[in-house]
């Protein structure tokens, strides 16, 4: 069952929609080795029939453990990868159509996890930030480009004179500000933020998150925010999707998911958040290991780690069911056992 459709008023019409999106990577051994071993091709299903919608000027966050498919969805959402099944639509236009993808490219951008790895160490900051301006022909002449770069740096809390320096001369938080300035240079409306604060200190994380929220309010930006840290996404999210082994197991308004989590996996993730109110109380850690997406468990992928699992969970893959204004893919919730 795909996510329930959102109202289609001008204020809430989805900017980005994923409709039953899947992505399978071929991880087979070389042809000759497969022939000698008499084995077929091997596929890794990184994303499995995922559906969601993001209204304009809002934030959908996707969280989950490493390897659950979050970053694959990030790349699918901006057209860097093509889905193996399903469709990604940006304001109703399919990203699978090359012509539409080229026309929409300026309107979307990404902020990456590691600000040092995503910046060219041989370029000065002014050239890094100006690259999208040149690529899309948004400015004409050196003077106009210099003024635009200075304005972008000031917008993210840096000085115009910082454009003369190289990335290695900045701290991690300052480098991420440069990455944000570059992402904003093409005047995008939709940003995919792929764990943009996970490489930063906690105090710097708060500064970057506050900057992003401020920019969203001032510029009307729409965010797809990827993270493994629930404490971070609570500060950013309007809606929250929890992923496990390529599927969204729970999705709904962020505050509802935090206040009354329904899926057993969501509950375990929330218990892992540091909280002074829980000092001295027993916590239930997320036990076990994430199964291999090459050979996932039958039925519900979470059943080997779930205390509520029964025979149905081991045999039948759960579909999303409505639990109030949240959608949950869990047999225990559907049967009233959770």
Residue 119 Cα distances to 128, 207, 211, 327, angstroms: 7, 20, 19, 39
pLDDT tens digits for range 252-296? 999 999 999 999 999 988 887 766 555 555 666 666 778 888 889
Contact of 265 with 242, CB cutoff 8 Å:
yes
Task: Report the pLDDT value the prediction gives residue 6, as an integer from 0 to 100.
Answer: 47
Mean pLDDT is lowest, of 57-66, 110-119, 150-159, for: 110-119
Q: Is the pLDDT of residue 15 over 50?
A: yes
Percent of the chain clearing pLDDT 90 (strictly above)? 71
Contact residues for 278 (Cβ-Cβ < 8 A; gap 6+): 271
Q: Is the pLDDT of residue 34 over 50?
A: yes
Q: At what angle do helices 172-185 and 142-155 cross, to 10 degrees?
A: 130
Rounded to whole angstroms, the Cα distance separating 332 from 205 reads: 36
19-23, 76-80, 206-210, range with greatest mean pLDDT: 19-23
Average pLDDT of the chain? Answer: 89
Contact of 129 with 186, CB cutoff 8 Å:
no
In the chain, domain spans: 14-334
How large is the average pLDDT for residues 72-76? Answer: 95
Task: Tell which CATH architecture fits domain 14-334.
Answer: 3-Layer(aba) Sandwich (3.40)
Neighbours of 50 (CB within 10 A): 26
Task: Report the pLDDT value the prediction gives residue 338, as an integer from 0 to 100.
Answer: 76
Task: Report the pLDDT value the prediction gives residue 77, as an integer from 0 to 100.
Answer: 95
pLDDT band, residue 104 (cuts 50/70/90): confident
- Beta-strand pair 326-328/108-111: unpaired
What is the reported pTM? 0.89
Residue 338: name the closest of 296, 282, 300, 293 by CA. 300
Q: Any idea which residue has 């929609």 for tokens?
A: 17
How large is the average pLDDT for residues 151-157? Answer: 96
């Amino acid at each position: 069952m795909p996510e329930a459709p959102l109202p289609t008023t001008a204020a809430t019409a989805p900017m980005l929609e994923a409709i039953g999106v899947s992505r399978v990577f071929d991880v087979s051994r070389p042809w000759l080795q497969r022939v000698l071993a008499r084995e077929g091709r091997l596929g890794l299903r990184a994303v499995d029939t995922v559906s969601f919608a993001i209204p304009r000027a809002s934030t959908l966050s996707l969280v989950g453990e490493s390897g659950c498919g979050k970053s694959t969805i990030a790349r699918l959402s901006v057209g860097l990868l093509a889905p193996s099944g399903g469709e990604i639509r940006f304001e109703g236009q399919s990203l699978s159509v090359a012509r539409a993808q080229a026309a929409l490219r300026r309107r979307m951008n990404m902020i990456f996890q590691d600000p040092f790895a995503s910046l060219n160490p041989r370029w000065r900051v002014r050239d890094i930030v100006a690259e999208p301006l040149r690529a899309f022909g948004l400015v004409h002449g050196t003077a106009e480009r210099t003024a635009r770069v200075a304005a972008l740096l000031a917008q993210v809390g840096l000085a115009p004179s910082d454009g003369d320096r190289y990335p290695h001369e900045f701290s991690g938080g300052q480098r991420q500000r440069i990455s944000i300035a570059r992402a904003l240079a093409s005047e995008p409306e939709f940003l995919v933020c792929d764990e943009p604060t996970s490489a930063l200190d906690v105090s710097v994380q708060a500064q970057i998150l506050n900057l992003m929220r401020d920019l969203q309010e001032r510029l009307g930006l729409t965010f797809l925010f990827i993270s493994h840290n629930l404490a971070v996404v609570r500060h950013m999210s309007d809606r929250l999707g929890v992923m496990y082994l390529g599927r969204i197991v729970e999705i709904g308004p962020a505050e509802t998911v935090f206040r009354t989590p329904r899926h057993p996996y969501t509950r375990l993730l929330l218990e892992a958040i540091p909280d002074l109110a829980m000092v001295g109380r027993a916590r239930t850690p997320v036990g076990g290991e994430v199964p291999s997406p090459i050979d996932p468990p039958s039925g519900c992928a979470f059943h080997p780690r779930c205390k509520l699992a029964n025979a149905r969970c081991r045999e039948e893959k759960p579909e999303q069911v409505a639990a109030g204004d949240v959608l949950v893919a869990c047999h225990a919730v559907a049967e009233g056992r959770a």
